[in-house]
Protein backbone atom coordinates (compact mmCIF):
# COMPACT_ATOMS: atom_id res chain seq x y z
CA UNK A 1 0.00 0.00 0.00
CA UNK A 2 2.83 2.42 0.85
CA UNK A 3 4.49 1.86 -2.53
CA UNK A 4 1.17 2.36 -4.30
CA UNK A 5 0.62 5.68 -2.52
CA UNK A 6 4.15 6.78 -3.47
CA UNK A 7 3.36 5.91 -7.07
CA UNK A 8 0.21 8.04 -7.09
CA UNK A 9 2.13 10.88 -5.44
CA UNK A 10 4.85 10.78 -8.10
CA UNK A 11 2.31 10.73 -10.92
CA UNK A 12 0.51 13.72 -9.36
CA UNK A 13 3.81 15.56 -8.93
CA UNK A 14 4.63 14.99 -12.58
CA UNK A 15 1.26 16.48 -13.60
CA UNK A 16 1.77 19.61 -11.47
CA UNK A 17 5.30 20.10 -12.81
CA UNK A 18 4.21 19.79 -16.43
CA UNK A 19 1.30 22.23 -15.95
CA UNK A 20 3.52 24.80 -14.23
CA UNK A 21 6.07 24.69 -17.02
CA UNK A 22 3.29 24.72 -19.63
CA UNK A 23 2.02 27.98 -18.12
CA UNK A 24 5.01 29.71 -19.80
CA UNK A 25 2.90 29.49 -22.99
CA UNK A 26 -0.24 30.77 -21.23
CA UNK A 27 -3.61 29.01 -20.83
CA UNK A 28 -3.22 26.99 -24.03
CA UNK A 29 0.19 25.79 -22.89
CA UNK A 30 -1.22 24.69 -19.53
CA UNK A 31 -3.98 22.67 -21.22
CA UNK A 32 -1.55 21.00 -23.62
CA UNK A 33 0.87 20.27 -20.77
CA UNK A 34 -1.95 18.80 -18.66
CA UNK A 35 -3.06 16.50 -21.48
CA UNK A 36 0.56 15.52 -22.09
CA UNK A 37 1.03 14.76 -18.37
CA UNK A 38 -2.09 12.57 -18.34
CA UNK A 39 -0.72 10.62 -21.30
CA UNK A 40 2.68 10.21 -19.60
CA UNK A 41 0.97 9.08 -16.37
CA UNK A 42 -1.04 6.43 -18.22
CA UNK A 43 2.03 5.23 -20.10
CA UNK A 44 4.10 5.22 -16.88
CA UNK A 45 1.59 3.08 -15.01
CA UNK A 46 0.81 0.53 -17.70
CA UNK A 47 3.85 0.51 -20.00
CA UNK A 48 6.87 1.73 -18.01
CA UNK A 49 8.18 -1.84 -17.70
CA UNK A 50 8.11 -2.28 -21.48
CA UNK A 51 9.88 1.07 -21.91
CA UNK A 52 12.70 0.05 -19.56
CA UNK A 53 13.08 -3.37 -21.18
CA UNK A 54 13.18 -1.76 -24.64
CA UNK A 55 15.70 0.80 -23.41
CA UNK A 56 18.12 -2.02 -22.63
CA UNK A 57 17.20 -4.08 -25.73
CA UNK A 58 16.08 -6.91 -23.48
CA UNK A 59 14.99 -10.08 -25.27
CA UNK A 60 12.45 -12.47 -23.76
CA UNK A 61 13.84 -15.97 -23.37
CA UNK A 62 12.14 -19.35 -23.51
CA UNK A 63 12.88 -22.50 -21.55
CA UNK A 64 14.77 -23.95 -24.51
CA UNK A 65 16.99 -20.86 -24.64
CA UNK A 66 18.06 -20.85 -20.98
CA UNK A 67 16.69 -23.87 -19.09
CA UNK A 68 18.89 -23.18 -16.03
CA UNK A 69 17.37 -19.73 -15.49
CA UNK A 70 13.84 -21.04 -15.99
CA UNK A 71 14.42 -23.91 -13.57
CA UNK A 72 15.86 -21.62 -10.88
CA UNK A 73 13.07 -19.06 -11.17
CA UNK A 74 10.43 -21.79 -11.32
CA UNK A 75 11.74 -23.29 -8.08
CA UNK A 76 11.96 -19.90 -6.35
CA UNK A 77 8.51 -18.67 -7.41
CA UNK A 78 6.92 -21.90 -6.20
CA UNK A 79 8.63 -21.45 -2.85
CA UNK A 80 7.61 -17.79 -2.63
CA UNK A 81 4.04 -18.37 -3.79
CA UNK A 82 4.48 -16.08 -6.81
CA UNK A 83 3.37 -16.45 -10.43
CA UNK A 84 6.13 -17.15 -12.94
CA UNK A 85 7.47 -13.83 -14.31
CA UNK A 86 8.58 -13.27 -17.88
CA UNK A 87 12.33 -13.71 -18.22
CA UNK A 88 14.66 -11.53 -20.29
CA UNK A 89 18.31 -11.30 -21.32
CA UNK A 90 19.97 -7.90 -21.71
CA UNK A 91 22.88 -7.90 -24.20
CA UNK A 92 25.47 -6.23 -21.98
CA UNK A 93 28.86 -7.26 -20.69
CA UNK A 94 28.11 -5.52 -17.39
CA UNK A 95 27.07 -8.21 -14.88
CA UNK A 96 23.71 -7.16 -13.43
CA UNK A 97 19.99 -7.90 -13.07
CA UNK A 98 16.69 -6.11 -12.40
CA UNK A 99 12.97 -6.74 -12.02
CA UNK A 100 10.16 -4.62 -13.42
CA UNK A 101 6.36 -4.65 -13.87
CA UNK A 102 3.35 -3.17 -12.09
CA UNK A 103 2.54 -6.17 -9.89
CA UNK A 104 3.48 -9.86 -9.40
CA UNK A 105 1.05 -10.89 -12.14
CA UNK A 106 2.76 -8.59 -14.65
CA UNK A 107 6.37 -8.96 -13.55
CA UNK A 108 9.52 -9.42 -15.57
CA UNK A 109 13.02 -10.35 -14.42
CA UNK A 110 16.00 -9.50 -16.61
CA UNK A 111 19.65 -10.54 -16.36
CA UNK A 112 22.54 -9.35 -18.47
CA UNK A 113 24.59 -11.68 -20.60
CA UNK A 114 27.58 -10.61 -18.53
CA UNK A 115 26.14 -12.02 -15.32
CA UNK A 116 25.83 -15.48 -16.87
CA UNK A 117 29.54 -15.52 -17.67
CA UNK A 118 30.50 -14.50 -14.13
CA UNK A 119 28.34 -16.26 -11.54
CA UNK A 120 27.97 -19.87 -10.50
CA UNK A 121 24.52 -21.42 -10.56
CA UNK A 122 24.08 -20.94 -6.81
CA UNK A 123 25.18 -17.29 -7.01
CA UNK A 124 22.75 -16.72 -9.88
CA UNK A 125 20.07 -18.29 -7.70
CA UNK A 126 20.82 -15.73 -4.98
CA UNK A 127 20.52 -12.85 -7.46
CA UNK A 128 17.25 -14.11 -8.94
CA UNK A 129 15.86 -14.68 -5.43
CA UNK A 130 16.71 -11.05 -4.59
CA UNK A 131 14.81 -9.80 -7.64
CA UNK A 132 11.82 -11.97 -6.77
CA UNK A 133 11.99 -10.41 -3.30
CA UNK A 134 11.34 -7.04 -4.95
CA UNK A 135 8.45 -8.59 -6.89
CA UNK A 136 6.96 -10.11 -3.74
CA UNK A 137 7.15 -6.83 -1.80
CA UNK A 138 5.78 -4.89 -4.80
CA UNK A 139 8.80 -2.60 -5.09
CA UNK A 140 8.90 -2.96 -8.87
CA UNK A 141 6.06 -0.56 -9.79
CA UNK A 142 7.39 2.43 -7.87
CA UNK A 143 10.94 1.77 -9.10
CA UNK A 144 9.87 1.57 -12.75
CA UNK A 145 7.52 4.57 -12.58
CA UNK A 146 10.22 6.67 -10.89
CA UNK A 147 12.61 5.86 -13.74
CA UNK A 148 10.02 6.79 -16.36
CA UNK A 149 9.17 10.07 -14.63
CA UNK A 150 12.81 11.09 -14.33
CA UNK A 151 13.17 10.42 -18.06
CA UNK A 152 10.00 12.42 -18.81
CA UNK A 153 11.35 15.46 -16.95
CA UNK A 154 14.55 15.33 -18.99
CA UNK A 155 12.51 15.04 -22.19
CA UNK A 156 10.39 18.07 -21.21
CA UNK A 157 13.44 20.26 -20.69
CA UNK A 158 14.90 19.22 -24.04
CA UNK A 159 11.57 20.03 -25.73
CA UNK A 160 11.66 23.51 -24.18
CA UNK A 161 15.16 24.06 -25.52
CA UNK A 162 14.08 22.91 -28.98
CA UNK A 163 10.88 24.96 -29.20
CA UNK A 164 12.60 27.93 -27.67
CA UNK A 165 14.34 28.52 -30.97
CA UNK A 166 11.16 29.24 -32.93
CA UNK A 167 8.40 31.83 -32.96
CA UNK A 168 8.94 35.32 -31.48
CA UNK A 169 12.68 35.79 -31.13
CA UNK A 170 12.56 37.35 -27.67
CA UNK A 171 10.01 34.89 -26.34
CA UNK A 172 11.90 32.03 -27.98
CA UNK A 173 15.11 33.11 -26.31
CA UNK A 174 13.40 33.23 -22.91
CA UNK A 175 11.84 29.79 -23.37
CA UNK A 176 15.10 28.34 -24.65
CA UNK A 177 16.99 29.82 -21.70
CA UNK A 178 14.39 28.40 -19.32
CA UNK A 179 14.89 24.99 -20.92
CA UNK A 180 18.65 25.22 -20.49
CA UNK A 181 18.28 26.21 -16.83
CA UNK A 182 15.86 23.35 -16.18
CA UNK A 183 18.23 20.94 -17.91
CA UNK A 184 21.11 22.15 -15.72
CA UNK A 185 19.22 21.32 -12.53
CA UNK A 186 17.52 18.18 -13.85
CA UNK A 187 20.12 15.73 -12.56
CA UNK A 188 19.64 16.63 -8.87
CA UNK A 189 15.86 16.99 -9.30
CA UNK A 190 15.51 13.60 -10.98
CA UNK A 191 17.84 12.12 -8.37
CA UNK A 192 15.76 13.65 -5.57
CA UNK A 193 12.56 12.19 -7.03
CA UNK A 194 14.11 8.73 -7.22
CA UNK A 195 15.66 9.03 -3.74
CA UNK A 196 12.26 10.07 -2.41
CA UNK A 197 10.54 7.12 -4.06
CA UNK A 198 13.10 4.39 -3.47
CA UNK A 199 14.19 3.59 0.06
CA UNK A 200 17.58 1.97 0.56
CA UNK A 201 15.95 -0.21 3.19
CA UNK A 202 14.07 -1.97 0.38
CA UNK A 203 17.39 -3.34 -0.90
CA UNK A 204 18.20 -4.77 2.50
CA UNK A 205 14.73 -6.34 2.68
CA UNK A 206 15.11 -7.82 -0.80
CA UNK A 207 18.55 -9.15 0.17
CA UNK A 208 17.08 -10.85 3.23
CA UNK A 209 14.11 -12.21 1.28
CA UNK A 210 16.47 -13.45 -1.42
CA UNK A 211 18.66 -15.21 1.14
CA UNK A 212 15.60 -16.91 2.63
CA UNK A 213 14.29 -18.00 -0.77
CA UNK A 214 17.66 -19.23 -2.01
CA UNK A 215 18.23 -21.09 1.25
CA UNK A 216 21.75 -19.78 1.84
CA UNK A 217 22.83 -16.13 2.41
CA UNK A 218 26.30 -16.83 1.03
CA UNK A 219 24.87 -17.35 -2.48
CA UNK A 220 23.84 -13.69 -2.72
CA UNK A 221 26.77 -12.38 -0.66
CA UNK A 222 29.28 -14.02 -3.01
CA UNK A 223 27.31 -12.81 -6.04
CA UNK A 224 27.30 -9.19 -4.80
CA UNK A 225 31.06 -9.31 -4.27
CA UNK A 226 31.59 -10.53 -7.85
CA UNK A 227 29.03 -8.12 -9.33
CA UNK A 228 30.62 -5.07 -7.71
CA UNK A 229 34.02 -6.05 -9.12
CA UNK A 230 32.47 -6.86 -12.50
CA UNK A 231 30.80 -3.46 -12.79
CA UNK A 232 34.10 -1.73 -12.03
CA UNK A 233 35.68 -3.66 -14.91
CA UNK A 234 32.81 -3.15 -17.37
CA UNK A 235 30.41 -0.36 -16.31
CA UNK A 236 27.28 0.40 -18.31
CA UNK A 237 26.83 3.46 -20.50
CA UNK A 238 26.03 6.31 -18.11
CA UNK A 239 23.32 7.81 -20.35
CA UNK A 240 20.59 5.88 -18.51
CA UNK A 241 21.26 7.14 -14.98
CA UNK A 242 17.52 7.43 -14.26
CA UNK A 243 17.20 3.63 -14.24
CA UNK A 244 20.29 2.88 -12.12
CA UNK A 245 18.21 2.21 -9.00
CA UNK A 246 16.46 -0.73 -10.66
CA UNK A 247 19.56 -2.93 -10.84
CA UNK A 248 20.75 -5.23 -8.06
CA UNK A 249 24.02 -3.25 -7.92
CA UNK A 250 24.68 0.22 -9.33
CA UNK A 251 25.64 -0.34 -13.00
CA UNK A 252 27.99 2.64 -13.11
CA UNK A 253 31.49 3.00 -11.75
CA UNK A 254 31.63 6.82 -11.93
CA UNK A 255 31.39 9.29 -9.06
CA UNK A 256 30.29 12.93 -8.90
CA UNK A 257 26.95 13.47 -10.67
CA UNK A 258 26.28 9.74 -10.98
CA UNK A 259 26.52 9.40 -7.20
CA UNK A 260 23.42 11.59 -6.94
CA UNK A 261 21.45 8.72 -8.42
CA UNK A 262 22.79 6.15 -5.98
CA UNK A 263 19.92 4.47 -4.18
CA UNK A 264 21.93 1.37 -3.35
CA UNK A 265 23.38 0.78 0.11
CA UNK A 266 27.14 0.06 0.12
CA UNK A 267 27.80 -3.43 -1.23
CA UNK A 268 30.15 -4.10 1.70
CA UNK A 269 27.34 -3.43 4.18
CA UNK A 270 24.92 -5.61 2.24
CA UNK A 271 27.46 -8.45 2.28
CA UNK A 272 28.10 -7.97 5.99
CA UNK A 273 24.38 -8.20 6.77
CA UNK A 274 23.94 -11.27 4.60
CA UNK A 275 26.87 -13.05 6.22
CA UNK A 276 25.40 -12.33 9.65
CA UNK A 277 22.05 -13.93 8.76
CA UNK A 278 21.18 -17.30 10.24
CA UNK A 279 18.78 -19.38 8.15
CATH topology of domain 56-139+199-276: Zincin-like (3.30.2010)
Q: What is the pLDDT of residues 194-237, one digit of tens each?
A: 555 566 788 999 999 999 999 999 999 999 999 999 999 999 87
Instruction: Check residue 257 and give its pLDDT.
Output: 40
Please, where in the chain does CATH 3.30.2010.10 lie? 56-139+199-276
For residue 83, pLDDT beyond 90:
yes
Q: Is the pLDDT of residue 260 over 60?
A: no
pTM: 0.78
Helix (H, G, I), strand (E, B) or coil at 103: coil
CA 32 to CA 22: how far, in whole Å? 7
223: exposed, middle or buried (Cβ count in 10 Å: 0-12, 13-18, 19+): buried
What is the reported pLDDT for 141?
77
Q: What's 247's DSSP letter?
A: B
* Whether pLDDT at 2 is above 80: no
- DSSP states along 215-243: T-HHHHHHHHHHHHHHHHHSPPPGGGGGG
Q: What is the pLDDT of residues 150-195, one digit of tens each?
A: 666 666 666 655 655 444 445 555 555 655 565 556 555 655 655 5
Which residues belong to the active site?
131
Amino acid sequence: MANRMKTYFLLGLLTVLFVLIGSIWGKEGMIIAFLFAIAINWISYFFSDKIVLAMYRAKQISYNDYPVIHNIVGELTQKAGLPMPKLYIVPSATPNAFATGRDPNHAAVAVTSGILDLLTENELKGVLAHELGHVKHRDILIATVAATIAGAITMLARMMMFFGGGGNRRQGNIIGLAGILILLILAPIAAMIIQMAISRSREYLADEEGAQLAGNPSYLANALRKLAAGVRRAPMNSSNTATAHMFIVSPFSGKAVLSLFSTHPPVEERIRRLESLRI
